[in-house]
Amino acid sequence: MEIIDKIRMILKEPAKFFGKIRSDKDYKEPFLYYALLSFILSILSSTVSVLTGLSNDIVFTFIGLWISFLILIFLGTAIIHIFVYLFGGRAGYLNSFKSAVYAATPALLLGWIPIVEFIAGIYSAFYLYPKGLSIFSYESIDFVFYQKVRGYF
């Protein structure tokens, strides 16, 4: 599937997209997808930072942003995966990673636009990411959460 088709499908039919990639077994394709979109976001964000006076060095800002994006996707996924595991998700780190990468699409596409980036981030974090996790774990995340919380009361 081409990158434009992936973006279109993630934005229009996320459940169908996550179901389609459920059987993918490697990190290469999601990582390259994320690396490309974060590269573009880093260029655009660096440019906006320089134009608005938040930064003086576009190259340093770009390199710092891109390296941060590439490191933080793995760390952020690891943190979320711990909680997914605690709540019964046993689909593995790869599926948490795929969910995080592809759920980040709106934020990566619109993250360079002030204020819009916040809305895109909320949509990514609170709708797309849980949607992907629930499809990869074959269970509804809110159902699993409810079952765990109910056990404590």
Cβ pair 98, 73 in contact under 8 A: no
pLDDT of the residue at 88: 78
Average confidence (pLDDT) per 10 residues, the chain, 153 residues:
92 93 90 97 94 90 96 95 84 91 95 91 91 78 55 53
Q: Are 70 and 54 in contact (CB under 8 A)?
A: no
Count CB atoms within 10 A of the CB of residue 11. Answer: 14
Place of tokens 């079952």: 147
* pLDDT of the residue at 74: 96
The predicted pLDDT at position 118 comes to 94
Of the candidates 34, 42, 41, 35, which has an alpha carbon nearest to the alpha carbon of residue 65? 42
| Residue 145 pLDDT | 56
Q: Based on the number of CB atoms within 10 Å of its own CB, is 87 exposed (0-12), middle (13-18) or buried (19 or more)?
A: middle
Q: Would you state the structure tokens that stand for residue 74, as one six-digit string?
A: 């793995």
pLDDT at site 59: 93
Contacts with 23 (C-beta within 8 Å, 6 or more apart), sequence order: none
Flag whether the pTM goes above 0.75. yes
